[in-house]
Amino acid sequence: MKFSEIHDKLHQWRRTNIKERHFLLFACFIVGILTALAAYLLKLAVHSIKLFLTNNFSQTDANYLYLVYPIVGILVAGLFVKYWVKDDISHGVTKILYAISQRKSRIKPHNMYSSLIASSITIGFGGSVGAEAPIVLTGSAIGSNVGRFFKLDQRNLMLLVGCGSAGAIAGIFKAPIAGILFVIEVLLLDLTLSSILPLLVTAVTATTISYILTGTDAMFAYSQVEAFTLERIPYVILLGIICGFLSLYVTRTMSWSEDLYSKLKPWKRFVLGGITLSVLIFMFPPLFGEGYDSIETLLAGGNKFHELLNESFFYNTQSRWGIVVFLGLILVFKTFATSATNGGGGTGGVFAPTLFMGCILGFIYSYSMNELGFGTYLPQENFALMGMAGVMAGVMHAPLTGTFLIAELTGGYELFLPLMIVSICSYVVILVFEKHNIYAMRLAKSGELITHHKDKAVLTFLKIEDMLETDIPVVHPEMTLGDMVKVISNSNRNIFPVVNNNGVLQGLVMLNDIRNIMFRPELYDTFKVKKFMVGAPAEIKIDTPMEKVMNTFEDTKAWNLPVVDYNGIYKGILSQSSVFNYYRDVLVETFSDEEG
């Protein structure tokens, strides 16, 4: 017996014996395990490659291999994508948004491994990007393909895509709450109570597997040395505002850089990106890789932050402001390093860069305030955490994700209030200038973004095939008016498609247009259909997105439109009433809080 036959029989047995919502939880459990394993493999690969390449680097002198490794990394990753994957896998989170909005939540199978391999090479060799967006795409691809394997319906398929994203975040950061909030704020449509449980199952499963593989310690070692006091709130608010403007700088700069690289030929993109990245890393070694080592150094407290000057030309800097200048320059050039990595052919995301820049900003802010003697003392470790939450909240338009992720990453739950204040202030500031987050703005420019818009989102669940009316009699151009009258007498419709012998749509006969001649028998043998048929106001292709279909109805003011394939073969009639009825049913089913 073939595998496909076994698969079909198991699928039929499952549909008969297991309720869909119960089986969905099992699928979510599987997705949680697979995404956690993928996250672990990605972290292990990045760490192993980086350790192998930099283990013998000098701590006091400039290391010229910084000029070579990044170029090699983006070259190998770029060649892998071009000749093996043969598909665009950059902008991982944007790809997920596009899949939800335009591809009925279907993500290609190769995305379950291609982003993992390409980003491991890119980051391991020093690419100044994060592994989170690639692993989120990997997790979503796992969710999508697990759902397709089990033949789940589109609504549950979309939910599994979200579960894969939640599992990826939970697995790589050991942060289940942040994983769920990321899906709610960044990826998906409005979620209901019945949707939260599958997300929770996946996130908790992925976190548990991550604990088993890597231990239960938080990702970043942090211990709060000073409790938060109310007199620091004005300083927290000011930091939040600054984080909002830094988020705006990051978003605008990366968008500009992306447009610049997109206009170049592939080899020019590689040359420009490779040279830019290698020079920046050579000048500022903390730009090498994700930057998590630098975050750990800044959160360690004391004077350990001076270690960031190692391996650079700033090593012998004695001025107390030298670290501020050095980190300030890193803050400015980090976005260019990230853009150069992706633009040159590498694969990675902006998740880690936002944490990196936020941590540096929070440190610079508190360190400078303390050195200048303004007001109360500001603990640098605490404000570094707040900066991480603020910049993430601003760049991603996700204040809840920023707050909970930093708390879960570090165990700094005592700082919930200031983390929330910074995140909200940053979010409000950038919202004034940018309507969409850095992931969604690419789709928003082309009008392809549907998520977070309930009316448009429901349309993605509607399929033309389900609403198509195929029982309407068709007529032919050579038929006479008498023949037409016979067809009308046996039908209760007022529209009749006209097709030729090959089934190609020729036009329509509208009952109202021939009402004045259909009761004149003397014309029955004289008039033929081709004389009184009219052209269709518009033809709808069978795979046209429903949002475009509704726009066509609006533009033509028609109540019924013919549907054809790409060869013009008539398939049926689509009516607005059918669309509205299906829309209402899906709206109730999808967004009802009742699980049954």
Overall average pLDDT of the 544-566 stretch? 85
Q: Which helix (H) or strand (E) holds 242?
A: helix 233-262
Residue 295 lies in a domain: yes
Which residues, at least 6 apart from 107, have a Cβ–Cβ distance to it below 8 Å? 95, 96, 99, 137, 140, 141, 144, 145, 161
Residue 457 lies in a domain: no
Residue 129 lies in a domain: yes
If asked whether residues 215 and 258 sit together in one domain, one would say no
Residue 596 lies in a domain: no
The model's confidence at residue 117, banded by pLDDT at 50, 70 and 90, is very high
> Is 318's pLDDT higher than 80?
no
Distance CA 328, CA 305 (A): 14
**CATH classification at residue 566:** 3.10.580.10
If asked whether residues 367 and 320 sit together in one domain, one would say yes
Residue 43 or 375, more confident:
43
> Is 554's pLDDT higher than 80?
yes
Q: What mean pLDDT value characterizes the chain?
A: 84
pLDDT at 266: 86
Question: What would the DSSP string read from start to end of 404-458?
Answer: HHHHHHH--GGGHHHHHHHHHHHHHHHHHH-SS-TTTHHHHHHT---TT-HHHHH
Q: Which of 200, 221, 242 is the last residue of a domain?
A: 221
- pLDDT tens per residue, range 382-425: 899 999 999 999 998 889 999 999 888 887 778 888 999 999 99
If asked whether residues 176 and 248 sit together in one domain, one would say no
Q: Which of 422, 449, 476 is the last residue of a domain?
A: 449
If asked whether residues 47 and 176 sit together in one domain, one would say yes
The model's confidence at residue 104, banded by pLDDT at 50, 70 and 90, is low
Q: Which domain range does residue 552 map to?
A: 462-591
Of 209-218, 297-306, 351-360, minimum mean pLDDT range: 297-306
If asked whether residues 444 and 474 sit together in one domain, one would say no
Question: 3-state SS string over 59-123?
Answer: CCCCCHHHHCHHHHHHHHHHHHHHHHHCCCCCCHHHHHHHHHHHCCCCCCHHHHCHHHHHHHHHH
Q: How many separate helices (H) and strands (E) can be counted in the chain?
A: 25, 5
Q: Which of 449, 483, 517 is the last residue of a domain?
A: 449
**If you compute the radius of gyration of the chain from its CA atoms, what whole number of angstroms results?**
29
Residue 285 or 594, more confident:
285
If asked whether residues 423 and 520 sit together in one domain, one would say no
Structure tokens at 430: 């950038």
If asked whether residues 120 and 48 sit together in one domain, one would say yes
If asked whether residues 343 and 469 sit together in one domain, one would say no
343 phi and psi angles, rounded to 5 deg:
-65, -30
If asked whether residues 392 and 478 sit together in one domain, one would say no
If asked whether residues 212 and 331 sit together in one domain, one would say no
Overall average pLDDT of the 13-17 stretch? 75
The model's confidence at residue 594, banded by pLDDT at 50, 70 and 90, is very low
pLDDT at 592: 47
> Is 447's pLDDT higher than 60?
no
Task: Report which of 350, 358, 422, 408 is spatially closest to residue 384, judged by C-alpha positions.
Answer: 358
Helix (H, G, I), strand (E, B) or coil at 391: helix
> Is 444's pLDDT higher than 60?
no
Residue 456 lies in a domain: no
- pLDDT tens per residue, range 324-337: 889 999 999 999 99
Structure tokens at 480: 């006479």
Residue 455 lies in a domain: no
> Is 445's pLDDT higher than 60?
no
| Total domains, the chain | 3
If asked whether residues 378 and 496 sit together in one domain, one would say no
**CATH classification at residue 108:** 1.10.3080.10
Structure tokens at 332: 């400015």
pLDDT at 443: 59
Overall average pLDDT of the 136-142 stretch? 90
Overall average pLDDT of the 18-40 stretch? 90
The model's confidence at residue 431, banded by pLDDT at 50, 70 and 90, is very high
pLDDT at 90: 73
The model's confidence at residue 591, banded by pLDDT at 50, 70 and 90, is very low
The model's confidence at residue 319, banded by pLDDT at 50, 70 and 90, is low
Of 121-135, 256-270, 444-458, minimum mean pLDDT range: 444-458
Overall average pLDDT of the 257-284 stretch? 90
If asked whether residues 322 and 260 sit together in one domain, one would say yes
The model's confidence at residue 584, banded by pLDDT at 50, 70 and 90, is low
Residue 167 near residue 179, CB atoms below 8 Å: yes
pLDDT at 593: 43
> Is 42's pLDDT higher than 80?
yes
Burial class (CB in 10 A: 0-12, 13-18, 19+), 510: middle
- pLDDT tens per residue, range 275-313: 999 999 988 889 998 888 889 888 887 777 777 777 666
Residue 454 lies in a domain: no
Percent of the chain at pLDDT exceeding 70: 86
Of 106-115, 120-129, 301-310, 554-563, minimum mean pLDDT range: 301-310
Overall average pLDDT of the 78-97 stretch? 79
Residue 191 lies in a domain: yes
